[in-house]
A and B are shown apart, each in its own frame.
Chain A
Amino acid sequence: MTIVENELEVREGVDRETVEAVQNMGSYKYGWNTDIEMEFAPKGVNEDIVRLISAKNNEPEWMTEWRLTAFRRWVTMTEPTWAMVHYPEIDYQDLYYYAKPKSLDEKPKSLDEVDPKLLATYEKLGIPLKEQMILAGVEGAEGLVADARKVAVDAVFDSVSLGTTFQAELAKAGVIFCSITEAIVKYPDLVKKYLGSVVPQSDNFFATLNSAVFSAGSFVYIPPNTRCPMELSTYFRINAENTGQFERTLIICDKGSYVSYLEGCTAPKRDTAQLHAAVVEIVILEDAEVKYSTVQNWFPGDEEGKGGIYNFVTKRADCREARAKVMWTQVETGSAITWKYPSCILRGDESQGEFYSIAIANNMQQADTGTKMVHLGRNTRSRIVSKGISAGKAQNTYRGLVSMHPRAKNSRNYTQCDSLLIGDQCGAHTVPYIEVKNNSSRVEHEATTSKVDDDQLFYCRARGMDEEEAVALVVNGFCREVLQALPMEFAMEAQSLVAISLEGSVG
């Protein structure tokens, strides 16, 4: 057996740490909060608040106007109710829309100048803000096998970005990676050209709110014919109470280029629910490819459903030109409410979209998530693999649209939706929407629902694993196809998360 196979083997398994984490942890590992002096914009949202946020970010006039247009639109809109999620009415005037650590009043020139308390926050979360190699090493038969890789990080704390690592090295390759706030000032032409071109200001209630009040989020531009020399990642932390996080991410991958982007998120345990309404826009030009991976681990609320993040997110990739490719991979384990449909607009001929998803809902969590594959170009291809896991009293819905437009001749879609139930009080729902408007395209949809099988659990236990360990093993097996689509360092984290999220779901 070769070294590579050993790595795979270890990656597939439920490692010791996973199991220990499950056994030892109270519950949510990232639930602590950073005690730091914050500056808030006044509660509520109105045109003055929108102007204030714009001013805080030192934005040019055109940006302020763009926000105001969105805001004026938003006040005429109503919250969507079609998703299979139930939550108390959100009072949009009882939230803070902007929160920034006071120590960041003077923008730090580099990460070295950032308040050590903030840096310690990320260290505790395990996010490297030093420009170091990430070691995803595993011990194999032939000694230590280490896969050293660099990952650039943009660290977002409530409404502001603390800084971005490896900027200089990326600049050498012509890659721009910075906060959106910085991009609006430094690269106005790129931002003007692409912002709102995938998710328009008027797209939906939450995206429109985001357009009015967004702060922070990442901006990525990969110039033509460039393979981004390292993984890019953004790590979102909501810390302040009663504060919404509204980041906006814009990724542009120019002709013939490639980038892999990772996103991670956590928040402290709070009794009150917190709103997160982000927008991610991805523009992919001819022959370019983007991989976007998310491990979403926002605080899910407690066992009775108190607190937690309401996650209303609009993510969309536009394969704007021929042979553009996008791959969304998401592991959704957190949030009290998840409302999220990362989508692919397959506009260019022969463009491709893929969506791999694991959505876990435990206790009182509710997830309504899926994707949209909009086939506009000829010979376009899409693939959807969704694994939904429900435990406790949770409800998990896959909602997906596959749409073949008249011009999308000879296009193909394959969809596979598998649901796994643990216990007898949870629910799994699959809601596929399929529209085919030409006669040469093909759409396949397969769906299964199963329960964690008592025979499987007994078999594992008869071999010495305890019940939690057995469930983690079976569930990780169920998710394997999706876990394998993740970059290595995320796959390990995701695997542990799968186990942790299901803690207390058996017995």
Chain B
Amino acid sequence: MLKINNLHVKLEAEDKVILKGVNLTIGSGEVHAIMGPNGSGKSTLSYVLSGREGYQVTEGSATLLGAALLDMAPEERAAAGLFLAFQYPVEIPGVGNMTFLRTAVNAQRKARGQDELSAGEFLKLVREKAKTLKIDADMLKRPVNVGFSGGEKKRNEILQMAMLEPKMCILDETDSGLDVDAMKLVADGVNALRDAGRSFLVITHYQRLLDHIKPDVVHIMADGRIIKTGGPELALEVEENGYADLLAEGV
């Protein structure tokens, strides 16, 4: 599904190297988690993969289903099946949440040469998906993320994911700012989307999200590199001992 090979990235504005040779392969249907201390490059990785400006790839490559990801515009990556659930979802005043969703869904369908959904088909679909995430009609009508609580914003990201049906989902600290109930709701939403043709990369600080979204593989990232890879037990180890031991080991 996703293959990252020796990826080096620097921040353009500060000329600062953030990723120093990341290698990662995620197979179809797999759930991978990346954990690591602040500043290790986790969020940068998600931004670079989704095409945000301000980052320069100095070396290495990334492919999504065999296609060179880093050459594509952000919207092309989205149409190819990449989805990033933002750590800080952006507010767009005056634009109804439903309008935003419909515009996004149809833009992707159009890019893939599919017919656009009619208003009726779209409404039916969005109501169905919103229900499972406990998103009420009011939240669909309000402007995108404006005045949403932390939990509502994250649920809204998962709703977008459910509507867009991507192949490769990156969740960037989707658990941050959520209480236990909200986290469970989000995790249930994610789990409902798990299937053999869809892969996940879950970026998180804490093991607790991984209690709900069970990963197949856990990676530890530090200083721009993946320093250790293991099974779910690796996350538990971090939870108990912190990153210090692993960091010492990685040096």
Interface of A with B (CB < 8 Å)?
Answer: 1, 5-6, 9-10, 12-14, 16, 138-143, 453-456, 458-467, 469, 473-474, 476-481
Contacts and interface: CB of A to CB of B under 8 A. Distances in A.
Shortest 3 CB-CB contacts between residues of A and residues of B: A477-B94, A477-B95, A480-B94
A458 B53 contact: yes
Nearest to B94: A477
B11 to A, nearest CB: 15
Interface string B80-118: 000110100111111110111011111110010000101
Contacts of A476: 94-95
State the main secondary structure of chain B at its contact with A: helix
Contacts of B120: 139-143
A268 to B, nearest CB: 32
Contacts of A456: 90-92
A473 B74 contact: no
B69 interface: no
A10 B51 contact: no
Which of B52, B105, B137 neighbours the largest number of chain A CB atoms within 10 Å of its CB? B52
Given A461-B73, A465-B104, A139 B119 contact: yes
A333 to B, nearest CB: 18
A378 B245 CA distance: 77
Given A461-B73, A474-B95, A138 B119 contact: yes
A143 B141 CA distance: 21
Nearest to A477: B94
B119 A461 contact: no
B52 A458 contact: yes
Interface string B161-196: 000100000000000000000000000000000000
A491 to B, nearest CB: 14
A454 B107 contact: no
B99 A465 contact: no
B75 interface: yes
A189 to B, nearest CB: 47
B143 interface: yes
A11 to B, nearest CB: 9
B108 A464 contact: yes
B74 to A, nearest CB: 4
Interface of B: 50-53, 73-75, 77-79, 83-84, 86, 89-96, 98-100, 102-108, 111, 116, 118-120, 123-124, 127, 137, 141, 143, 160, 164
B123 A6 contact: yes
Contact of A454 (B53, B96, B102): B53
A140 B119 contact: yes
A477 B98 CA distance: 13
A463 B145 CA distance: 14
A473 B102 CA distance: 12
Contact of A463 (B98, B104, B123, B137): B104
15 contacts: A1-B123, A6-B123, A9-B98, A12-B99, A16-B116, A141-B123, A460-B104, A462-B50, A462-B51, A462-B86, A463-B100, A463-B160, A466-B75, A469-B103, A480-B94
B92 A474 contact: yes
Given A14-B103, A461-B75, A477 B93 contact: yes
A5 B53 CA distance: 37
B74 A461 contact: yes
Contacts of A143: 120
Contact of A459 (B90, B98, B107, B124): B90
Contacts of B102: 13
A138 B120 CA distance: 11
A1 B98 CA distance: 12
B92 A459 contact: yes
A419 B137 CA distance: 31
A1 B96 contact: no
Contacts of B53: 454, 458
B78 A461 contact: yes
A1 B99 contact: no
A368 to B, nearest CB: 25
Chain A CB within 10 Å — which of B79, B105, B107 has the most?
B107
A464 B92 contact: no
Contacts of B141: 5, 9
A431 B160 CA distance: 42
B107 A469 contact: yes
Nearest to B84: A462
A447 B25 CA distance: 51
Contacts of A478: 93-94
B96 A9 contact: yes
B95 A464 contact: no
B41 to A, nearest CB: 19
Nearest to B100: A473
B51 A6 contact: no
